[in-house]
Amino acid sequence: MGMFKNTQKISSITFRPKNSCHNLCPLGQLYCDELAKDGSKPLLPHYTNQFTIDFVPGEFVCDYIDVEKWIDQNLNNETLIIEDCVAMLFDYINTTYKPKWLQVESFVDDALHGPVKVTRVTESKEIL
């Protein structure tokens, strides 16, 4: 886990991971399976999370490459709904780096449904 001390007293960071996070939606799979029963060509419910991470660092700032590696190793190509991807990434950053405030957002515009933005923000009781 890479991190460095926030000696510069950075007050806010917005990070957009470089690599996309591709997932298979279990809810979409049920929908696709139902459609395929009539003999039509089956659809694949793949989608791409485009994450934005906003945070107020605490004592440490994360190594952005480590966060990208975590996404690739723990979320990418998994069968998860968008909300689970956001929650898992939020929990990882919040637990590992302990920011003073955190917001994790995913924008998805290539799913079977219309564009969706899912956001989780630090609640007041979560603030350290």
Domain ranges of the chain: 3-126
C-beta separation of 104 from 118 below 8 A: no
Q: Is the pLDDT of residue 128 over 60?
A: no
C-beta separation of 115 from 107 below 8 A: yes
64 sits in which H/E element = helix 64-74
Amino acid, single-letter form, for residue 125: K
Q: Is the pLDDT of residue 32 over 80?
A: no
CATH of 3-126, one of 3.40.50.300, 3.30.9.30, 3.40.50.970, 3.30.1130.10: 3.30.1130.10
C-beta separation of 53 from 96 below 8 A: no
Q: Is the pLDDT of residue 8 over 90?
A: yes
Six-digit token string for 1: 């886990």
Instruction: Provide mean pLDDT across the span 68-82.
Output: 93
Per the prediction, the chain carries an average pLDDT of 86
Looking from the CA of 126 toward its CB, the CA atoms found within 13 Å total 15
Contact residues for 20 (Cβ-Cβ < 8 A; gap 6+):
48, 49, 50
pTM here?
0.85
Q: What is the structure's pLDDT at 91?
A: 97
Q: Is the pLDDT of residue 68 over 60?
A: yes
